[in-house]
Amino acid sequence: MMEEGELCFPQFFNSSCRRLNRPHFEVMLTYIMLSSIAVLTAILNLLVIISISYFRQLHTPTNLLLLSLAVSDFFVGLFLFFQMILIDGCWFLGDLMCTLYQYFAYIVTSASIGTMVIISIDRYVAICYPLHYSQKITPKRMKICICLCWICSVIFQSLILKDNLKQPGSYNSCYGECAFVIDHIAGFVDLTFSFIVPIAVIVLLYLRVFVVAVSQAQAMRSHIAAVTHQRSGTPKKSELKAARTLGVVVAVFLICMCPFYCVALTGQDSSLNASSATFVICLVYFNSSLNPIIYVFFYPWFRKSIKLIVTLRILQPEFREVNMA
């Protein structure tokens, strides 16, 4: 006979879900890991959001993309606290909150992937068409692109998850479960447009960026940069540096996201044990805390803005116009 301590809701003995039978050490380790990642992700990305939003000099098209990415990563940090509730397999916040949590998590992930695609396009134009970059890529146009990215993510995920949104909790097999089911067709469409197509676009564009950047470097070493400049224009050194930095961001993103989507692509998610599944999910979440760490190493303006924020000097209006170079 099942003991009441094994049930999520002992008062609903006949319909309650059963707690996962996991070692206490593993549960505590998972709690510590997820909570650490959640706090780190939220704080670091909040610093990025404040930095780019506050300092006027940072309102560039590329930084607006970093702002969009930081917003999505910040929400990932918040969602991690909800993920911690499910460590023992029990959901205590009701069917509506379960549906909203999953729905917004899908939207944020989709918007994050869309932002990565726009970052690749931005670097492609900056490196391959440097003479036209400032005319084609303006802060206003970039804001429109970012807004469209988030709006499309909301619409797309609303269509993919419409059955779950219509009847929250309809797929739960027991009381205390937080199940989210997508049919095969919707799952295939989501996998195609949320992973396969974006990854293909990102890889192809960055391969082109890499080839052009290498050829420009060779041209400069061969003292024919002036000829190349007259023919097609050469990207600025700052644009090349930004391409390298964002290339690292994109590469880390792919490394962290690919295991999760590859499992979904091969349909082997049911064969994963609890530890493997936890690792794959944590890797996805951990990517959101890595981006600000990358900025610390590659962007002097971010290190400077952190000092100004931590010392509360941003409370003085004149620091809004400070030189962040």
pLDDT, tens digit (0-9, with 9 covering 90-100), for 246-283: 888 888 888 888 777 776 666 555 445 555 666 777 78
Q: Is 15 among the domain residues? A: no
pTM: 0.84
Eight-class DSSP state of 7: B
Q: Is 57 among the domain residues? A: yes
Domain that holds residue 211: 22-321
Q: Is 101 among the domain residues? A: yes
pLDDT for res 299: 86
| CA count, 13 A, side-chain hemisphere, 131 | 7
The average pLDDT across 85-107 equals 85
Strand partners, 47: none
Q: Is 183 among the domain residues? A: yes
- Helices (H) and strands (E) in the chain — how many of each? 12, 0
Q: Is 5 among the domain residues? A: no
pLDDT for res 230: 47
Q: Is 50 among the domain residues? A: yes
pLDDT for res 151: 97
Count of domains for the chain: 1
Q: Is 89 among the domain residues? A: yes
Closest to 204 measured CA to CA, from 318, 302, 124? 124
Give me the CATH number covering residue 44. 1.20.1070.10
Q: Is 8 among the domain residues? A: no
